[in-house]
Amino acid sequence: MHSVSHYGPALSVKFLDRFVYAGYGPFLHVYEYATGKLANKCLIFNKNKVHGVRIGDNGLILCYGSRSVNLTSIQDVHEKSSIVESEKHTSEWIISGEFNSDCSQFYLLTCYDRVLTCDLECHVVKKSAVYGERSILYSGSIKVVSEDKVFINAGTVMGGIIVWELFSETLVANLLGHSGSIFYVEMNRDGSLIASCSDDRSVRLWDLKSQKELSVGWAHTARIWHLLFYNNDTRLISVSEDCTCRVWDIQSGKLLQSAIHEVHLTKNVWCVDVNEKDQLAITSGNDGRLRLISLTEQESLQRNFTIKQISDDSKVPFAKQEIIKGFHWFSFGLVAITSEGKILQYGNQWKFLMQNPQFKSYSMTNGISKDNIVIFSNNKCNLLILKFNSEGSEIVASRELHVDTLTKSQNCMVCRHHDRNEFFVTLESPNPHDPFMCLKFDTDSLNLRGQFGLKKPESFASSCLEIYESFLLVGSRFSVIAIFDLNNTSQESLVSRRLTPGDTTTSIHLVEFSIGGPVFVVTNRDGYYNFIRLKLGNPIEELEIIHSNRTARGFLEGAYYDNNGDLITYGFKSELFYIYNETQCYEKAVRVCGGAHRQWELARTPEGFMLVFIRASDLHFTRVIEPKVPEVLQCGTHGREIRDIALLKDFKYKNGHLFCTASEDTTIKLCHVHESTGQVTTFWTLRKHVSGLQRCKFLSSKLMISSSAREELFLWELTTDCNTKPYIKFRQALPISGNNPDLRITDFSVKFEGSNFILAAVYSDSAVKLWRYNHLQNRFQLAVEGHYKTCCILNASLFEFKNQSYLMLSATDGHLSLYNLTNTMNGGTVCPLPSVESSIQIHQSSIKAMNISVDDQNDAVRVYTGGDDNALAICAFHWESQTKRLLPHLKDVQRSAASSTITSSELINDDKQLVTASVDQIVRIWDTENDKLVLQEQKYTTVADTGSLDAVSNLLLIGGVGLSVWKTEHH
C-alpha cells in the first residue's frame, strides 16, 4: 500500500517570498501563491503531523509536530519528496519552535514549559526552565527580541500566562485574567505587548512592563486557536473554532474588531499567517483547506450618497420626500430614476438627464448591461427605453410605448436573448384574465419586433425571466416555473409547481447543454436551488429536475457558473449580502447592507462585482474586487469526521471514479477521485440531512442512499450525462415513525426486483424494517416490521442463497444474527419480523465492520467481522441440507487484530483479501484464504478517528478526520 493523495487537517502555514509553506498532515506543501500551483509535496515525518513551520534567514526550515522535529534546507523541501531520514524525536511534546537571533541555533518549547536549545545538527545543547514551575501547556511561543533577550510565553492549563526570560531562566510575569486553558499566546516584535486567547473565547492584550490587561476583545463564538500581530503591531489577526478569521485594530491599547472572514468549514481554523507586502492572509483548517484572503481596506471600495448630495451634485432641486425608485448599473456607471420621474446618471458625478412625469410615484427599472439599454415601466402599461453609447455620454436611441392589451401593469421584467440581438420585456397585470404580455425588441434600433399575449397559469406572479431559443422561462412566486413557446403561443404553457418548499423563484439561468437538453439553474428565495433540464419538443415534453440542494442559510437571489465551473450563489443572510462559492463552500465576499428588504442590484464588472443598494434612503455603491491570487490553494474536504465512503464502482467517470463521503458535519459530498494522481474534486455538498451521517451507499449506477439520526434515510438519483459535472437530486425520504431525534438508521441493505427494490433498514432502537420501493410511484411501503432485541443494530445485509432470502445483522451485543425472510413478504399487509434463524456471539461488544461473501458452490456464506474489542473474525454459515438452514461456525478469530476498535473493512481481490481500518490509525490487509486470517501488510495512516474505507480496483479511500487515497498492489 502507498499513499497517493491526502486531504485533511492543515495545522500550520507560513509565507516566504513567492511561496506558502503549509504543514499538511505529515507533509509540507509548497505553493506558489500567485498562481496556486503546488510546487512540491515533501514528507517531513513518518507519522506525526507538522504542527509548526519556522523559516530562518539562513535558508533553513524548521518543522515540528508532536515529539518530532526536522531541520532542513528550503531547497530540500522544494525538491525532495521526503526528508523523513532526518526526523528527530524529543521526549516531550513540542509546543513551539524558533530560530535564535543569528540562526545558529534553534529553540524548542515543550509542553512542560522547558526550552531545549539545539544546534543545527539537532543536538540539544542546553535545557532551560524556571525553577519550581512545571505546568502543562496547551500553547506557548518563543520571542527572540535580540541576541541577548528571548522571552518564553507559556499558556498554561490552569495558571494563566507565564512569561519568562530564557537566558536568565527567570520569571518575568504571570498574567492572570483569562478563564480556562490558554490556547495561544503571542508577543509583539519588541516584547512590550502580549496577545492571548483562552477557553473563555476572548482575545486579551497585555502590557508586559506593567503586567496589566490593556483590552479584552469579545467577538469569536468558539475557541480561538492562533493569533498574530502584523502591520507594525497595529493589527492583530485571530482564527477560531467558529470557522472565522478576524482582524483587530490596536488603537491606544484597545482591541477593535475591524473585519470578519468566514474561511473554513465546520470546524476549527488552526493557523494563520500574513504577508504584509501583499496584505494577504492565509488560513489553514481542519477541513484541509488553505484559504487566501485579502486584508486590504474595504472602505476605499465603498461610496454612498444621500438624496441631498445627489440633488446638489446633479444641480436639480428635489421635491420633498423625493426618493430613488430604481437603478441599473452599466460599465459607464449608474442610471437611476426618482419618485418624481427624474432620470439621473452617475459616472464620476451626478448628471440630470430628463424628467418624465408618466413615471412619477410608481416605476420599475430594468437594464441590459451588454447593450447599455435601460427600461423604465410604470403601472399604466407605459415603457420608456433608452439606449446609451458605450461611454454613456450619449443616448443613441430611445422609445416610448404604451401596451393597450393590459388594463394595468404591476410587474415588468427584461431578458436578452443569448444568441440573437433581441431582448424581451414582459408585463404582468394584476387582473388574472389579462394575458401575460411579452414584447420583443431589437437591441440596436429598439424597434418592436413582436408582441405575444400569453395565457397566464393559475396562481402565478412573475418574478424572473430567461429565454432559450423560442422558449420563455418565467419564474413565479410559490416556487412555480412556467415555460412558453413563443413560436406556438396558442399552446398551454408547461408549468412546474413546488420545485422547492415554496417561496419566490428568484432566478433562472442557462448553464449548459447536454444530450438530454439545455440545463438551467433555478434559485428560490427560500434558500433552495435546482438544476432543471428541458426535454424539448413540440409541445415541450418535460421539465426534469436533475439536481436539488439548499444553501447554507439565508435568502438566495441568484446563481451562475464562474470560469472555473464553480457554482457561485448570492443573496442575503440577516444584515449581510453574500457572494458564495457553492462548489467549494466558501464565502467570496460579504457586505453589510441591512438585509433583504430593499432595492438592490448586483452587477458583474471586469474587476469583480458592483453591489448597489438603498439603505435608509441613501444610495450605496460597493465594489467587490476579484482577488488577483487564487482564493484557495487547496480545497480540502469535510471539517469533521467522515463516517462513510461510497465509491461508485459500476462505471468510471472522467479517468477515475465518483464517490460520496458522509460526514458528522451533516453533509454528503459528491466527489471524483482521479485514478492515477488520486486528486479529489468535490462537485456538490448536499445539505438535506440535519443530523450527523451514519451511512451512504450506491445501490446502482444511478441511485444512492444515505442515512442518519432522526430516522433520516434519503434516496438520491445521479445524472452523469451532462458535460460539466455530475448532478444529484433528492428523490424520496423513508417515512418516519416518530420524532425521536436520537433514533438513528445505522445501516441498510437493498435487493433489486427490476427497477423496484426491497430495502432493509436497521435502527438504533433495535428495530428492523423492510420496505418495498416502487420506482414509478416513487414510494416506500412498509412490508415487515419487528425488533431484534433492545440493543443498537450496527450492520445489515440482504442476500440470496439457495433461492432463499436472508438478512444478516450485527449489533452492539457482539452477535451475528440471521433471518430467513423467504416467505415473510407477501401481500400488501405489514408482516412481523420472523424469529432469528441462527445467531452466534463473535465479539465481546459492538461489531462495527461486517462484510459478506456468498459462496454458492461450497454451500457457505462467509461473514467477516471487526469489532470494538479489537478482534477480527471469519464466521462461515454452512448450509445444512437436512434442516435446510444456515448454521454458523466460527472459523478464525484474531483477538488483537488491532490495538483499538476496528471500524470498517472491505473485501478486495475477489474476496481473497480483507482490508481493515481501525482507530489505532493502522490500515491492515489480511489474507483470508482457507478461512484463516493472515496479516499481509500494515501501514500507518495520518487520518485520525479512522472510521470508513472503500476500495475499487487498486484504489483505497480512507476516511476519518480527513480523507486519504492509497493504492494497493495486487498480490
Partner 1 sequence: MGKSSKDKRDLYYRKAKEQGYRARSAFKLLQLNEEFHFLDDPNLKRVVDLCAAPGSWSQVLSRKLFDKDDYTDRQIVAVDLQAMMPIDHVTTLQADITHPRTLHQILELFGNHRADFVCSDGAPDVTGLHDLDEYVQQQLIMSALQLTVCILKRGGTFVAKIFRGRDIDLIYAQLGYLFDQVTCAKPRSSRGSSLEAFVVCQGYNPPEGWQPSLDTNSSVVEFFQDCPVGSNENRTIAPFMACGSLESFDSDATYHVEPSATSLDPVQGPTNPPYKRALELKRSGRLTRAV
102 Rama sector, left if φ>0, alpha if ψ -120 to 50, beta otherwise: alpha
Residue number, 300 or 790, with CB nearest to partner 1: 790
Smallest distance from partner 1 to CB 66, Å: 5
Q: What's the rounded Cα separation, in Å, for the pair 481 and 473? A: 7
Backbone angles phi, psi at 160, to 5 degrees: 70, -150
Q: Closer CB to partner 1, residue 177 or residue 627? A: 177
Residue 442, classed as helix, strand or coil, is: strand
Decide whether 647 or 902 has the Cβ nearer to partner 1: 902
For residues 264 and 547, which CB has a smaller minimum distance to partner 1 in the complex?
A: 264
- Report CA 215 to chain centroid distance, whole Å: 35
Comparing CB distances to partner 1, the nearer of 310 and 958 is 958
In this structure, the strands spanning 831-832 and 779-787 are: parallel
Helix (H), strand (E), coil (C) string for 193-239: EEEEEECCCEEEEEECCCCEEEEEEECCCCCEEEEEEECCCCEEEEE
Complex with partner 1: residue 181 or 377, whichever CB lies closer: 181
Record the cell numbers describing residue 724, joined without a space. Answer: 460539466
Q: How far is CA 37 from CA 17, 32, 33, 74, 659, in A?
A: 14, 5, 7, 17, 25
- Per 3-state DSSP, the chain is made up of helix, strand and coil in percentages (nearest 5) of 5, 60, 40
Minimum separation from the CB atom of position 890 to partner 1 (A): 17
Residue 412 beta carbon to partner 1: minimum distance, rounded to whole angstroms: 33
Q: How far is the CB of 647 from partner 1 (least distance, A)?
A: 24
User: In the complex, what is the shortest distance from the CB of residue 961 to partner 1, in angstroms, rounded to a whole number?
Assistant: 6
| Residue 906 CA, distance from chain mean position | 28
Q: How far is the CB of 292 from partner 1 (least distance, A)?
A: 20
State how far the Cα of 916 lies from the Cα of 894, in Å rounded to an integer.
Answer: 13
CB atoms within 10 A of CB 135: 16
User: For partner 1, which is the closer residue by CB, 129 or 603?
Assistant: 129
Residue with cell 440573437: 420
301's enclosing H/E stretch is none
Find the shortest distance in angstroms from Cβ 577 to partner 1.
Answer: 11
Q: With left for phi above 0 and alpha for psi between -120 and 50, is residue 423 left, alpha or beta?
A: beta
N-to-C CA span, the chain: 11
Tell me the closest approach of the beta carbon of residue 433 to partner 1, in angstroms. Answer: 46
Q: Cα 643 to the chain's mean position, in Å?
A: 16
Shortest approach of partner 1 to residue 113 CB, angstroms? Answer: 9
Smallest gap from residue 945 Cβ to partner 1 (A): 6
Q: Answer yes or no: are the C-beta atoms of 465 and 424 closer than 8 Å.
A: yes
For the beta sheet containing 411-416, the strands, ordered from the edge strand earlier in sequence to the opposite edge, are 411-416, 422-428, 436-442, 448-454
Smallest distance, partner 1 to C-beta of residue 614, A: 18
Shortest separation between residue 573's beta carbon and partner 1, angstroms: 8
Q: Which cell goes with 755?
A: 427497477
Q: Which is nearer to partner 1, 262 or 442 (CB)?
A: 262
| Cα 208 to Cα 194: distance, rounded to the nearest angstrom | 7
Identity of the residue, 343 or 611, whose beta carbon is nearer to partner 1 in the bound complex: 611
Grid coordinates standing for 244? 472565522
Smaller CB distance to partner 1: residue 97 or 326?
97
Nearer to partner 1, 131 or 651 (CB): 131
Beta carbon nearer to partner 1, 448 or 890: 890
How far apart are CB 566 and partner 1 at their closest, in Å? 23
Place of cell 433562472: 508
Task: Please state the length of the chain.
Answer: 971
Query: 110 or 345, CB closer to partner 1?
Result: 110
Instruction: Kindly tell me which of 163 and 871 has the beta carbon lying closer to partner 1.
Output: 871
Q: How far is the CB of 202 from partner 1 (least distance, A)?
A: 7
Read off the C-alpha cell for 324. 430613488
CA distances from 669 to 82, 585, 692, 953 (A): 31, 11, 13, 22
State which amino acid sits at residue 140. G
DSSP string of 616-682, one letter each residue = TTEEEEEEEEPPSS-SEEE----SS-EEEEEE--SS--SSEEEEEEEETTS-EEEEEEETTT--EEE
Q: How far is the CB of 818 from partner 1 (least distance, A)?
A: 18
Based on CB atoms, which residue is closest to partner 1, 112 or 560? 112
What DSSP string describes 59-104?
A: SEEEEEETTEEEEEEHHHHHH-SB-GGG-EE-SS-EEEEEE-TTSS
| Nearer CB in complex with partner 1: 298/489 | 298
Q: How far apart are CA 588 and CA 600, in angstroms?
A: 19
H helix or E strand, kind and range, residue 801: strand 793-801
To partner 1, the closest distance from the beta carbon of 891 in angstroms equals 20
